Structure 1
Amino acid sequence: MSQQQYAIQNNITFYGAGSMAEAIVRGLIARSVVLPSNIMMLNRSNAVRLEELQKLYQVKTSNDESAKIGILQSSSVIVLAMKPKDAAAALQQLGPLLSEDQLIVSVIAGLSISTMQRLLGRNQPIARTMPNTSSSIGLGATGISFSTEVTEDQQRIVTTLFEAVGTITIIEEKNMDLLTGISGSGPAYIYYMMEAMIAAGVRGGLTQEQCTELTIQTVLGAARMVQQTGEAPSALRAKVTSPNGSTQAAISVLDEGDFFEDVIAAVNRCSERSREMGAALEEEI
């Protein structure tokens, strides 16, 4: 395949080489979005990790401090994927190296665009993103907010990057914490529900393996039904809930426990905690 057939031909540097960076890189390469030789992954000290990534994906890697400046200066797109505690120092060092047309893409939770620009010391084009862990298997849901400096071409690059690992939703930055409560932490709510379903089956006499297989397929099927039919979850639920039937009996138990409102409260508390953590991070730096 020639380079002209790749959706993105820019040089992309992942500043940080953790699990989220790897998930994005895996998606980009699996879907032939970016040529592996156009991807650089930087890591401060873990040479073994970088060697593993290079072998798996044929990308370029480096932990050479003397080479880092040149790599960052020559990158059209820089994906900030380091730990939040390392972000301030990295952004302060990065600012003087940048030209005005280089795009910064952040996957750092809790760090606002305005704070990143303050740390950079310039109004750099920035895309703030919130992927979730399902991105690691190409089924992520990513929220994206853009600074006013981001061009249409740069927006296209960002959307293409994250469409390689799932679906995207463009939102105003003020709604990023709410998105965290729905999709950022959302997989954990579903896992918790699955835990309970499996436990019920095991307590009733089925094997752990049987319960796990049944639960996985049920959750997969329900999600696909909503996706493929286009019907609202409430409409699909009504179709399988006969009056005075067994499903209705189960839903009644959930309603007695205020399940619907508990889930809403959980999303809201997650959003609130995300705001609190973001505020603490920004105060710290």
Structure 2
Amino acid sequence: MKKIAIIGAGSMAEAFISGILENGFIDKKNIWITNNSNQERLATLETRYGIRTTYNLNELFDQTDIVMLAMKPKDVATAIQSIREHLTEEMLVVSVLAGVSMDTIETLARIPLAIVRSMPNTSAAVGKSATAVAVNHRVTDSQLETTKTLFGTVGMASVVEEEQLDAVTGLSGSGPAYIYYLIEAMEKSAVEVGLEKDMASELIVQTLLGAAEMVKNSSKSSTQLRKDVTSPGGTTEAGIRVLEEHGVQEAFISCIKAATAQSKKMGTELSSKLQTADQPS
């Protein structure tokens, strides 16, 4: 691989830059990035990581293998319009834009493209993203392997069909917020039962890490793991009983279904708006 060009310089773009360099995916001199107009942000990334920044599109796309679309989804039409004369069929276009379909990207580009559409989450910032990727029929086997390696630099990646990405968004895309919400409740309860906040936070974080590691490494289901620590008449059973009385499990199911439906709605509306905006006047 010769070069990756990143369009957009927000937190997700920075997470990928950090992961790429930490894992040796490509040399820093071959990572190029641009944005709409925030020169200060580009200067910060250049200083922090030693990557290349430019507003010269000829320079940006010269010998580029991968183009990463990392701007705000609402800006994708303007962004692709500005770069499409530099895109070629040999490039792999990787999108981290929520709600923007591969068909929409190809329509805006006006040429056939090998496209990867992804749904990472904010844990990419610490190299722990749970990412799903979908690819179109123009992506080669070699490009697919490159894609898996790329997303492996910020966590783990699973290949799914594009129509499953709304469900992924509802589950793991928004998932960190659900866990933070749970942590908030545990922190509040810890204070109410007499624990110091700092100590409680450490206990909560380690409890979550330990439970996640158990689910990851055990051959037992999450249901069985829960039952294993729920002794009849014990403290865990008392706590679980209250959760069941309040319908917590059903609330989580409804939560993920609602987020999935909202992702589908937003994606449909955005794609329609983008394709309409690109029509000749």
* Smaller-chain TM-score bracket: over 0.9
**Which residue matches 2:278?**
none
Are 2:243 and 1:261 aligned?
no
1:215-273 Cα distance to aligned partner (Å, 9 max, x none) = 11111111111112243211111110111211011111111111111111100100000
Are 2:210 and 1:218 aligned?
no
**Which residue matches 2:174?**
185
What is the deviation of 1:47? 1.6
**Which residue matches 1:34?**
26
What is the deviation of 1:179? 0.4
Q: Is the 8 A contact 1:73 1:98 kept in 2?
A: no
**Counterpart amino acid of residue 264 in structure 1:** I
Are 2:219 and 1:227 aligned?
no
**CA distance in 2 between partners of 1:61 and 1:97 (Å):** 17
Q: Is the 8 A contact 1:159 1:168 kept in 2?
A: yes
**Which residue matches 1:6?**
none
1:144-190 Cα distance to aligned partner (Å, 9 max, x none) = 00011011111111111100110111000000000001100001111
**CA distance in 2 between partners of 1:177 and 1:260 (Å):** 21
Corresponding pairs, count: 274
**CA distance in 1 between partners of 2:187 and 2:88 (Å):** 54
**Which residue matches 1:197?**
186
Alignment of 1:168-183 (within 5 A): 168-183=157-172
**Which residue matches 1:11?**
3
**CA distance in 2 between partners of 1:74 and 1:15 (Å):** 16
Alignment of 1:76-115 (within 5 A): 76-115=65-104
**CA distance in 2 between partners of 1:69 and 1:268 (Å):** 44
Instruction: Give unmatched runs, 5+ long, in structure 1.
Output: 1-8
Q: Is the 8 A contact 2:114 2:138 kept in 1?
A: yes
SS of residue in 1 equivalent to 2:76: helix
**CA distance in 1 between partners of 2:127 and 2:220 (Å):** 24
Alpha-carbon spacing, 1:230–1:138, altered in 2? closer, same or farther (3 Å):
farther
What TM-score, normalized by structure 2, do the two folds share?
0.94
Q: Which moved more, 1:204-213 or 1:160-169?
A: 204-213
Report the aligned-residue RMSD: 1.2
What is the deviation of 1:73? 4.6
Runs (4 or more) in structure 1 with deviation over 4 Å come to: none
Q: Is the 8 A contact 1:110 1:279 kept in 2?
A: yes
**Counterpart amino acid of residue 38 in structure 2:** N
Among residues 36, 40, 51, which one is paired with 1:59 in the alignment?
51
**Which residue matches 2:273?**
284
Among residues 43, 47, 51, which one is paired with 2:35 in the alignment?
43
Instruction: Give unmatched runs, 5+ long, in structure 2.
Output: 275-281
Alignment of 1:142-161 (within 5 A): 142-161=131-150
1:2-49 Cα distance to aligned partner (Å, 9 max, x none) = xxxxxxx33000111110010011011011111111100112222221
Alpha-carbon spacing, 1:73–1:118, altered in 2? closer, same or farther (3 Å):
farther
**CA distance in 2 between partners of 1:122 and 1:257 (Å):** 53
**Counterpart amino acid of residue 41 in structure 1:** I
Identity %: 40
**CA distance in 1 between partners of 2:142 and 2:83 (Å):** 22
Q: Is the 8 A contact 2:2 2:63 kept in 1?
A: no
Q: Is the 8 A contact 1:110 1:274 kept in 2?
A: yes
Q: Which moved more, 1:167-176 or 1:44-53?
A: 44-53
**CA distance in 2 between partners of 1:59 and 1:175 (Å):** 34
**CA distance in 1 between partners of 2:174 and 2:227 (Å):** 27
SS of residue in 1 equivalent to 2:206: helix
SS of residue in 1 equivalent to 2:6: strand
Alpha-carbon spacing, 1:61–1:230, altered in 2? closer, same or farther (3 Å):
farther
What TM-score, normalized by structure 1, do the two folds share?
0.93
Q: Is the 8 A contact 2:170 2:256 kept in 1?
A: yes
